[in-house]
Amino acid sequence: MLQATQLNLGLMVYFAWMLRTIFQILVDCHIQVNVISIMLIEIHFSPTIKRVKSFYRMMALYVASHYKNSPNDLQLMADAPSHHLFVLLGPVDESKNHLPDILCVIQVCLEGQISRKSALKSLSQGQSPFGDQIPWKFCEQFQDTVFPGLSGVRIVRIAVHPNALGLGYGSAAVELLARYYEGQMSNFTEEDAEENQEIEETEVKVTEAAEKVSLLEENITPKANLPPLLVHLHERRPEKLHYLGVSFGLTRDLFRFWRKHNFVPFYIGQIPNNVTGEHSCMVLRALNNDEIEADGSAQYGFLVPFYQDFRKRFRRLLGTSFQTLDYKLAMSILASKINFSEDDPKEENLKSLLDLLSPYDMKRLEAYTNSSVDLPMVLDLVPTLAHHYFQEKLPVTLSPVQASILFCMGLQNRDITYIKKETKLEREQIMSSFRKVMKKLYNYLYSVAAKEIDTTMPRLNKEVTLAPHNISVDDDLNEAAREVMEKQKSENEVTLNPEYLQQYAIVDREGAFEKALQNGAKVSAGGLLSVKSSRSKQEKRGKDKEASKSKRKGKNDGEKSRSNKKRKS
């Protein structure tokens, strides 16, 4: 706040008159919302009637948007060289000499271009100098000394007319501003840039004019050769910037608005504001710039690695510093994917899941999914599974309700009572949904383990291919029957061979028989009479050898017939 002793009487009257008329303008200002064409225009201020009225209208929008306003803020808007004002106007009737209605106003501040030496000094001292809010905070969070050297713009305020809320004018203004700083709304050559630079050098700076005369001796008079009040963005050369940034109190509506325009968070304060209870949040949007190499397919440009690091840190703090944060807002900040129906799992993720749970953990999880045990048996596994799932390492598709329950229980360490209060669901519904989540995760982990075991099993170098038989079953049976008959025939030939039977012949059978009867031999009941052979032992051995040879010959003939059958098949 400016001290009263530092203001001359005319300036004090100016502020009092302006603040008194703001509320009257806010009440009387009405616009037509059926706008056909819109345009974003930069506005310049000086103490003339029309310019002051434009100033009043913008301040009225700030008041309606619940911004805090002070004389210091007014002075920044009017005189600070790094602050610029852009307004979104409705249709302009050039035949009428009056100011068009202001649909949206945006106040921005140029930041960045900090030397590496200053960044290193700030990091070593652990202090951030005044000004350049986003570069210094980025440097502190990531210990990075390159980002402060980039050029950017911070959106200080954005306000939409109360009668045009929810009609998309704020979104249109932000997109036009981004397109303007990316050079899509103006075509300037190098000659135009040199002419603009010469014009800027001829203008007298405010600091130089203040040194020539003291504040007490200053005589306030209207300026001569004033620039136009409204300058269309097609007629102004944009500064070369690398990013757009915003700092605001974290709420669901504001975060959804900036996320819709591809702004990503890089910092959220862990301690909420004592008055509003909101966490401070800073978001960035990368602009298309040839000076920075980035993956063209990436949605967030060069901010991707920083955004991924922020998500990892934010996820770890959900159970402590951000435990009381609304789970819907926290899930939108984390922005994890929950639908994997069209994605294939990554190989590196599959390998990391092999050691996620021990065999005993898998047994407990299986028992819980089968309703054999209660929740306390697997409660220690929930944080581990939740962290891996919201890192998108467990590609299992969940419904929004199931993902919310897993988020609250696994990341924010919330109990069933809190989830019941926040989601308006009954306890039985919550437990049923949670059991379904655990079953889906278990089935996926089981399939990963089974696939790993299958890949480690030994494989045959040469696969065995089965083919149908060359002969039918009937032909095979007939062939076997022929072999049996041939074998029997060969054996019969051996046994019926006279040479083979000769060994059992009785020499001089009549005489030997009579001699046996004379010696008192008796005929048995079966009609048999034993007669002693008269052959020598040597003859008997010769006969036995011949008999064995004939038997072996019969066997060999049978084996040859079987081998012939195999060759045919």
Q: Which two tokens stand for residue 78?
A: 């009017």
Domain match, 297 and 373 both: no
DSSP string spanning 163-219?
Answer: GGTTSSHHHHHHHHHHHHHTTSS----HHHHHHHHHHHHHSPPHHHHHHHS-TTT--
Candidate from 30-34, 175-179, 547-551 with smallest mean pLDDT: 30-34
| Digit-coded pLDDT (tens) for 487-497 | 888 877 777 77
Long-range residue pairs from 30-37, CB within 8 A, at least 24 positions apart, any chain:
30/163, 31/90, 31/101, 31/103, 31/161, 31/163, 31/164, 32/90, 32/101, 33/163, 33/164, 33/167, 35/90, 35/91, 35/103, 36/91, 37/90, 37/91
Domain match, 446 and 478 both: no
**What pTM does this model have?**
0.68
Please provide the average confidence, as pLDDT, over all residues in the chain.
76
For residue 267, the model assigns a pLDDT of 96
Segment 366-374 shows an average pLDDT of 93
Domain match, 116 and 67 both: yes
Which is higher by pLDDT, 281 or 66? 281
Residue 461 lies in a domain: no
Domain match, 480 and 448 both: no
Q: What is the CATH number of the domain that holds 95?
A: 3.40.630.30
Split at pLDDT 50, 70, 90, the class of 399 is very high
For residue 40, the model assigns a pLDDT of 54
* Helix ranges (DSSP H) in 347-426: 347-352, 359-369, 382-390, 400-410, 416-423
Split at pLDDT 50, 70, 90, the class of 191 is low
Question: Among 84-93, 434-443, 487-496, which range has the highest average pLDDT?
Answer: 434-443
78 within 8 A of 89, measured Cβ to Cβ: no
Which is higher by pLDDT, 509 or 250? 250
CA atoms within 13 A on the CB side of 108: 22
Domain match, 172 and 47 both: yes
What's the total number of domains in the chain?
3
| Digit-coded pLDDT (tens) for 45-73 | 555 555 566 666 777 777 777 677 677 77
Domain match, 411 and 510 both: no
Domain match, 277 and 419 both: no
In the chain, the percentage of residues whose pLDDT exceeds 90 is 33
Segment 287-311 shows an average pLDDT of 81
502 within 8 A of 533, measured Cβ to Cβ: no
Domain match, 123 and 30 both: yes
User: Domain range spanning residue 557?
Assistant: 474-518+533-568
Split at pLDDT 50, 70, 90, the class of 405 is very high
For residue 540, the model assigns a pLDDT of 55
Spell out a b/e string for 261-270, using b for 16 or more CB atoms within 10 Å of the CB, else e: bbbbbbbbee
Which is higher by pLDDT, 185 or 414? 414
Domain match, 258 and 300 both: yes
Which is higher by pLDDT, 30 or 53? 53
Cα 552 → chain centroid: 81
Domain match, 130 and 26 both: yes
Segment 3-13 shows an average pLDDT of 38
Distance CA 362, CA 160 (A): 55
For residue 336, the model assigns a pLDDT of 92
Distance CA 388, CA 271 (A): 27
Residue 548 lies in a domain: yes
Split at pLDDT 50, 70, 90, the class of 77 is confident
Residue 51 lies in a domain: yes
Split at pLDDT 50, 70, 90, the class of 459 is low
Residue 206 lies in a domain: no
Residue 442 lies in a domain: yes
Candidate from 92-106, 183-197, 243-257 with smallest mean pLDDT: 183-197
Domain match, 450 and 538 both: no
Residue 555 lies in a domain: yes
Domain match, 300 and 371 both: no
Residue 278 lies in a domain: yes
Tell whether the model's pLDDT for residue 551 goes beyond 60.
no
| Digit-coded pLDDT (tens) for 141-187 | 998 888 989 999 999 989 888 888 888 889 999 999 999 998 888 77
3 state SS of 225:
coil
| Digit-coded pLDDT (tens) for 350-360 | 666 777 888 89
Residue 326 lies in a domain: no
For residue 295, the model assigns a pLDDT of 61
Distance CA 331, CA 214 (A): 56
Task: Decide: residue 544, CB within 10 A, 0-12 exposed, 13-18 middle, 19+ buried.
Answer: exposed
Interstrand relation of 151-160 and 230-232 (parallel, antiparallel or unpaired): unpaired
First to last CA, the chain: 108
Domain edge (last residue) among 428, 455, 482: 455
